[in-house]
Structure 1
């Protein structure tokens, strides 16, 4: 069979369009003898009947296992080079009270970046001492609440925050642990990284500004400077960018030791996952070992002790555990003109969600895969684009994948690897209610985030004469 010329080069036509690539799907995903896909021991068709579609489904055991595996990997790597490690779950990937409980029970701390995320973590019962607070524009109310509850560490993002954090710490009679976020000039994505002298971005301070700012932090008795923090990118498969960033940070870290203790180094997160069968992310154990080796080598070269290490993965913990269910509403074969002449067919399958529940294609042209999960089919594979129902031409969920060519209205399809940045970025565009989030485990399903109704969407609308 001649390959469809509209298919991207990374996409190979599968021999079986029913297969579930192991790296992309949660470990519990399996297709039963009746063709229905099960997750966490629960048929996805049963979830659709009970909770409707679109529906976010999270494999609880998968998330718990990845959290525990990540913590074990970094603790083991740190111990091997004579230090210790803390892992923060980056709540921005997906934070609910249940997710916060799962990761905390696995031994992770939780990183928040807004007052709302802080409120969720506190409502989940996470010890405030195990929380961090990020942000380039933290409000006075956010800083005040952080100090009031005894939050573990605040990441200072610029010079103006030093006095603000010192003031709220003094008001609440405590000495606040703080880190300083640094732009190391390293930006990484997937396999490559770029190292420059400066980064044009809103987060952090340049390396050249670190020493005077740390002197300012240390001049406040209310602040306890514990180390530098850096985040170099997202969806990163290799370790080279982390190694270069660590090398640059440790050179400054060594100079800071001359003025006082610097017990920690936070190298951030951004570890990648597989969204398609073509993706090959580095196993977390290898990443941890390679980063630890780079830190140990640089510390030895500088003649300084290896600091306590901290990391902030989010996607790598929750991304693969999430799957989004949709029902196909319409299909449409579209003839597309080719630059070389002639045409090729792209099959559009439109579903009952879209960019309101997964904005990542519209924002980043993010790649995803898709499978029919309500049945198996022996029809020949067809190149399919999964489109949403929104009034936008860019409302795409899956740009390109192969499904059985008989995909039809009423089929239930699932998009895997949607645990990170899908629910978090969801919206009510076109007044669609946000879907529910259901956790599955050991054959049981339960709602962990209630889905919205049209009543919820309308509830904030003001009637004539009504006062707020």
Structure 2
């Protein structure tokens, strides 16, 4: 794992001393290296530029959605996709350009679609026949308006990842199925609807994928669909959206390709295929690969339990409430002692949280140097799906979020207070 340190040997994040960050902002806390976010977005864009392929890098904001993150995405000229009315509201609150937003989701409500239309969302990615019909009904209220859409397809390709992270196989809640003819029927309906402008198609085969073969197979299959639709319907696609899911390194046992290399291999496959129409713009939707490696969680050590013959339990002041992924997905992480991140491990411990669940284990086998109560522990590569999936379980307030860049740290989400926990509660008496 890549670790940077300062002259004192302390872990640094965005040029800031991790111990100083813990002192200033308290723990637990989410810390983001903003320069790392920017670098990854630019690395994706560079691949398209080098191959001279029209494109959009659309940040999949479900990975981490805050006003500050949408602002950084806008600074980097990113497109973004949202999957709920709440994410849309947050993006608009950040003054993110609505024309550069695409709206995902397998069960968008009428209220969410109305909000998207009112805001001028650039693209709605239609997931099913119910939504196709609902969207057309809503557009009748504004007959002068035409809405850009993509059709989400399930290409029948399963990614090699956790079962909960697979989305491209036929048996999925997402998208129009290819094999049954649903996708073709949806295309006919969309092309016949005067207020819908079908830009192209979308597919997403899963998350935390290490092998490029699945992406290449999906790209080849989707191009064959577009060629068939061009021949059958005279449809000329403007967009082919290949989704995201590029894997990142959580532990030294992970060996993913650099995310930009994934894209380069996909583009090479696409450019080998002769097309009867002009090259459509290629969209990708990286989320985890943009913010995951850039994020850290800082905790303080509290209690310790030693049982003869068993691995010790070292508890920290956070846990499954601020990072549910180990309990939900059996996700693996790497932890270091922030004061001495390069120190050799002296023991392997269960690094556990404070929540009232036996499954509240952040890292089941964490090699660490000796620790004492009050030591700051940093868990690496937690930038994706930590904050966005956080909860108030056990009535614990959610942590603060801090952006660090060029040695400067800024609070971008304040730490919740106990008063925040009851602000929506109503008395029964």
What range is the shorter-chain TM-score in? over 0.9
Q: How do 1:85-100 residues align onto structure 2 when only pairs under 5 Å count?
A: 85-100=55-70
1:71–1:108 contact (8 Å) kept in structure 2: no
1:154 is the counterpart of 2:163: no
Q: Which of 46, 50, 57 is the aligned partner of 2:24?
A: 50
1:186 aligns with 2:157: yes
Q: Which has the larger radius of gyration?
A: 1
CA 1:359–1:380 in 2, change beyond 3 Å: closer, same or farther? closer
137 and 380 in structure 1: CA distance in 2 versus 1, 3 angstrom threshold: closer
Structure 1: gaps of 5 or more residues: 1-20, 336-343
Residue 332 (1) aligns with residue 341 (2): no
1:299-337 CA deviation, whole Å, 9 max, x = no partner?
32x6554322111000110111100000000122345xx
Distance 1:434 1:151 in 2: 30
1:433 and 1:303 map into 2 onto residues whose CA distance is: 56
TM-score (norm 2): 0.94
Query: Cα 1:203–1:296, aligned 2, differ >3 Å: closer, same or farther?
Result: same
C-alpha displacement of 1:381: 2.1
Contact 1:368 1:399 in 2 (8 A): no
* 1:319 and 1:417 in contact (8 A); partners too: yes
Tell me what 1:14 maps to.
none
Cross-structure match for 1:397: 362
Alignment equivalent of 2:211, drawn from 230, 238, 252 = 238
Q: How does 1:201-350 map to 2 (within 5 A)?
A: 201-207=172-178, 208-258=181-231, 259=233, 260-297=235-272, 299-300=273-274, 303-335=276-308, 345-350=310-315
Aligned to 2:48: 74
CA RMSD of aligned residues (A): 2.2
After superposition, the C-alpha distances for 1:232-291 in whole angstroms (9 at most, x for unaligned) are 000112211011111211111111113122221110000111101221211123212210
Q: In the alignment, which of 82, 106, 112 is matched to residue 136 of structure 1?
A: 106
Alignment deviations for residues 73-121 of structure 1 (CA, whole Å, 9 cap, x no partner): 23433x1xxx311110000000111111111211210100000000111
**Equivalent in the alignment of 1:366:** 331
1:459 to 415, 423, 427: 423
Report the equivalent of 1:437. 401
1:170 equivalent among 119, 126, 140: 140
1:419 pairs with 2:383? yes
**Deviations for 1:108-150, whole angstroms, at most 9, x for unmatched residues?**
1010000000011111111111000000110111111111111
How far apart are the structure 1 equivalents of 2:347 and 2:89?
46
- CA contact under 8 A between 2:34 and 2:294: conserved in structure 1? yes
Mapped to 2, the partners of 1:108 and 1:374 lie a distance apart of 36
CA deviation string 1:391-414 (max 9, x = no partner): 10000111222111x212111100
Q: How many positions carry a matched residue from both structures?
A: 423
CA 1:311–1:378 in 2, change beyond 3 Å: closer, same or farther? closer
Partners of 2:155 and 2:222 within 8 A in 1: yes
Task: Output one character per residue of 1:424-444: Cα deviation in whole Å (capped at 9) or x when no partner.
Answer: 000000000000001111221
> Offset of 1:350 from its aligned partner?
0.4
Distance 1:454 1:102 in 2: 30
* Paired residues of 1:73 and 1:284 also in contact (CA < 8 A): no
Q: CA deviation at 1:464?
A: 3.6
TM-superposition CA deviations, 1:197-250 (whole Å, max 9, x none)? 962111001112211211111111000001110000001122110111112111
Change (3 A) 1:287 1:161: same
Instruction: Find out whether 1:449 has 2:400 as its counterpart.
Output: no
**Structure 2 unmatched runs, 5+:** none
Partner in structure 2 of residue 120 of structure 1: 90
2:12 to 38, 45, 52: 38
Deviation at 1:347?
Answer: 2.2
Distance 2:341 2:330 in 1: 29
Q: Is the 8 A contact 1:191 1:236 kept in 2?
A: no
TM-score by length of 1: 0.86
